[in-house]
Structure 1
Amino acid sequence: MYESHFPHKRYKHTIEFLEQHIPTGSQILDLGVVNPFTEIMENHGYKVKNTTGEDLDIDTSAIENSDDEIVTAFEIFEHLLSPFTVLKAIKAKKLVASVPLKLWFASAYRSKTDMRDRHYHEFEDWQFDWLLEKTGWQIKARHKWTNPTKKLGIRPLLRQFTPRYYIVYAERV
């Protein structure tokens, strides 16, 4: 059903997970600039405000000054040097966040042309769980999925059954 409407498998899994845990019509602060998934959330009935591209490692004022009950962070924390600081700054009661998982057979992602488009962290699921716990969040639900490619080779074969993305729904303790 969703496959023909979404350009990425992760969008399909992400919106399904969001709809399972967050009622449509909810006001969301989405960490990161407006992006294609912002429109998908809005088309599914969510009211979305995004951060504006500020360096969240240095400036968490948009998070601290938000009165939204829900924060989403889809593939954001791996780009931060200190996701701990951002997670502690969130005042909202609910969080939906996804991260790419560390793959033992591939290096962390690093763009050669965009200094901001690099992964400082690629988590194992237990590491992300621990980070959330240490910053005052209790995980209520979680899901993982693969990201297969249509290429030939050992890595594409491993991507068929090795989870690449991890998403959680958590509440402030």
Structure 2
Amino acid sequence: MYENSFPNKRFKHTVQFLKRHIKVSETILDLGVENPLSSILKTNGYSVTNTSGIDLDIDTSEIKNSNTDVVTAFEIFEHLLSPFTVLKSIKADKLVVSIPLKLWFASAYRSKTDMRDRHFHEFEDWQFDWLLEKSGWKIIASEKWTNPSKKIGIRPLLRLFTPRYYIVYAERISKP
């Protein structure tokens, strides 16, 4: 089902991490529109609802009105101006989040063709941990993994051993 290429490697790691921490009987609100990963989660037995595509920086009503057990956000928070506001609006007691890590040898991602596909934030792990803690979450488990490419050069060599993705399972310690 999965190959060892982007984004399949990332999907494989994400699903394996989720299976270790979230039961298939728990309902999930996945931040962002339906996507290949949310479809993969459904084929793995999870009950997943996605947000409609509203701008979560402006309108968190879909999050506030959700009664799911778990909220997931896979590569979403780097696109938000205010991830703190979104994290505070979550009512669920469990959270699984992944982000691309800031790479010291590459500048922040910015699409030249799509104004919406840009990173406002690229976190180091300690910065993201601090954001979660400050917004009322306790980190229970986390992992990092690399994203090597088959290209030749210094950056592809650095990508062999430099973690690119960070995933966290957290539980709520204070209600919004």
How far off its partner does 1:118 sit?
0.5
Deviations 1:74-113 (A, max 9, x none): 0000000000000000000000000000000000100011
Distance 2:6 2:123 in 1: 25
- Whether 2:34 is the aligned partner of 1:37: answer no
Distance 1:7 1:79 in 2: 18
- Contact 2:72–2:96 under 8 Å retained in 1: yes
Partner of 1:122: 122
Deviations 1:8-61 (A, max 9, x none): 210010000000000113210000000000110000000000001100000000
Identity rate of aligned residues, in percent? 74
Distance 1:32 1:115 in 2: 17
Count of residues in correspondence between the two structures: 173
Amino acid of the structure 2 residue aligned with 1:131: L
Partner of 1:148: 148
Give runs of ≥4 in structure 1 deviating > 3 Å: 1-7
Distance 1:72 1:39 in 2: 13
Partner of 1:50: 50
Distance 2:109 2:5 in 1: 27
Partner of 1:22: 22
Q: Call closer, same or farther: CA 1:113–1:6 in 2, change over 3 Å.
A: closer
**What root-mean-square deviation, in Å, do the aligned CA atoms of Structure 1 and Structure 2 show?**
1.5
Partner of 1:88: 88
Partner of 1:108: 108
- Contact 1:32–1:53 under 8 Å retained in 2: yes
Q: Which runs of 5+ in 1 are unaligned?
A: none
Q: Call closer, same or farther: CA 1:5–1:156 in 2, change over 3 Å.
A: closer
Distance 2:137 2:42 in 1: 26
Q: Call closer, same or farther: CA 1:133–1:24 in 2, change over 3 Å.
A: same
Partner of 1:71: 71
Distance 2:21 2:100 in 1: 20
1:56 alignment partner, SS class: coil
2:130 alignment partner, SS class: helix
TM-score (norm 1): 0.97
- Contact 2:6–2:147 under 8 Å retained in 1: no
- Contact 1:78–1:120 under 8 Å retained in 2: yes
Distance 2:38 2:133 in 1: 27
Amino acid of the structure 2 residue aligned with 1:166: Y
Partner of 2:60: 60
- Contact 2:28–2:48 under 8 Å retained in 1: yes
Amino acid of the structure 1 residue aligned with 2:88: K
- Whether 2:161 is the aligned partner of 1:158: answer no
TM-score (norm 2): 0.95
Q: Which runs of 5+ in 2 are unaligned?
A: none
- Contact 1:78–1:122 under 8 Å retained in 2: yes
